[in-house]
Amino acid sequence: MMRIKELINTALRGTAEPAFPPLSASAESAKLTLVQIVTAGLDDTKADDVTIIDLNGKTSIADAMVIATGRSSVHVGSIADRVVRALKEAGRGVPRVEGLPAGDWVLIDAGDLIVHIFRPEVRQFYNLEKMWGADRPLERRAV
C-alpha cells in the first residue's frame, strides 16, 4: 500500500519525487495545501484506503476530492474530527460538515477540497471513485 505522500504525488503531479515539506513541523503548516493538511489528518487517525481524485476539468465544485474509510462509525467520527481540527489549526477556517452524528458517511466541505469519510460497506455501495474517477464531460457554463 502506497504511503499518503506518495499517493498525493502520483495523483496530483504524476511523479514520485517529494512535492512538499515534512508534515510534522508545525511552523510549516501555513505553507501546506488543503490536500496536504487533510491527508496529514487522515494519516494521524489511521484512515484506510485513502484516494485522491483530481477534479480539475471535471467539475467546478472543487479542485480535488479525498475519499477515506474508517473501520467503524466511531472511527469515522474521530477521523472527521481530526481533519476539521487540522484545517482550523492551519488557519483554513471552519469547514462545513455533514453526517457526523450518524457516522456512516461524513462529508467535509473545505472549499476547494471535498472530503468523504465512509464506513467500508457504505463506501462500497456509493462507489464515488467510479463516478468521479473516470473522465467526465466538461460542465456547460450558463451564459
Predicted local confidence at residue 136, as pLDDT:
46
How many Å is the Cα radius of gyration of the chain?
Answer: 15
Say what the pLDDT of residue 93 is: 87
User: Model confidence over 75-94: pLDDT tens digits?
Assistant: 999 999 999 999 999 888 88
Candidate ranges 50-59, 114-123, 132-141; pick with highest mean pLDDT: 114-123
Domains of the chain: 4-17+33-128 (3.30.460.10)
CB-CB contact of 21 with 33 (8 Å): no
pLDDT, one tens digit per residue, over 89-135 is: 988 888 999 999 988 999 999 988 999 999 999 999 999 988 887 55
Q: Residue 55 pLDDT more than 70? A: yes
**Sheet strands (E) in 10-47:** none
In this prediction, residue 5 carries a pLDDT of 57
Measure CA of the first residue to CA of the last residue in the chain; give whole Å: 45
Looking at the chain, the number of H-run helices and the number of E-run strands are 5, 5
